[in-house]
Amino acid sequence: MKGGKHHTKAHGANPATCMMECFTNFQKQFFCLDWDYMCGPENGTLLIDLGVTHHPVHSTAVVGLWRLDSVEASFGAAGFSTGTIHHLNTLSLYGGLQAEMPAQRRERSQVVFRSVYNLGWEVTRPLDNNRELFRDKDAYVLDPEYIHYIDQVTEIYTHDAAHKSFGVRDEIRMGGEAFLRIVHDLDFEVITFNLRSIPPPTSSIG
């Protein structure tokens, strides 16, 4: 269900309460679905993308980055398969990672997939999630549409994006029962920082 997280966002200082509010918002938006059936352990027909976004807060526009060595260690400790690394431009130590959970662990944990990425990538991401912004052959012949598109991208980076901060996102795809169990333990697993410069976390379910 692409774009579902726009209907589920919730803000709050308490992680468990925030996540349950996300889930409640989702149920209200899509009330025609049989939630009891989909969340049942014997059915397993509901997959939830649980996403947590961390935004840098600073008077000057800054960009948050994932360190790949730390990300790989986190994925390895959770038992994920070897995934796909997406380096950020020419930075060898920073970027994103996507990986699937092996079948045996998936059956026990209901965790299917995990993806971490830097939100700065979304500045010019196409709506279809394609990583190619334009076709190479259009660049070779200096096609007028290509020139117009490059001007638009340049405008985004030099004006709009230059004055905004971009954070990082961690998404885990899991079954409905696993999500409901995890929510009740979030307060014990997640450390919150009560600093004035840090706003409440933003969460969403897609």
Please tell me the predicted confidence (pLDDT) of residue 28: 86
Please tell me the predicted confidence (pLDDT) of residue 196: 43
Per-10-residue mean pLDDT of the chain, 206 residues long, equals 70 76 84 82 74 79 89 93 88 92 87 91 68 77 86 82 85 86 68 48 53
Please tell me the predicted confidence (pLDDT) of residue 25: 85
CA distances 183 to 31, 93, 97, 113, 206, Å, are 21, 32, 24, 18, 16
**Cβ atoms of 93 and 67 closer than 8 Å:** yes
Q: Domain segments of the chain: what residues?
A: 4-124+167-205, 125-162
Q: How far apart are CA 14 and CA 200, in angstroms?
A: 8
Q: How far apart are CA 10 and CA 205, in angstroms?
A: 10
Residue 64: CA count within 13 A, CB half-sphere: 18
Q: Which residues contact 76 (CB under 8 A, 6 or more apart)?
A: none
Please tell me the predicted confidence (pLDDT) of residue 77: 92
Please tell me the predicted confidence (pLDDT) of residue 203: 53
Long-range contacts of 42-45 (CB under 8 A, 24+ apart): 44/110, 44/175, 44/176, 44/177
pTM of the model: 0.71
Please tell me the predicted confidence (pLDDT) of residue 204: 53
Residue 76: CA count within 13 A, CB half-sphere: 6
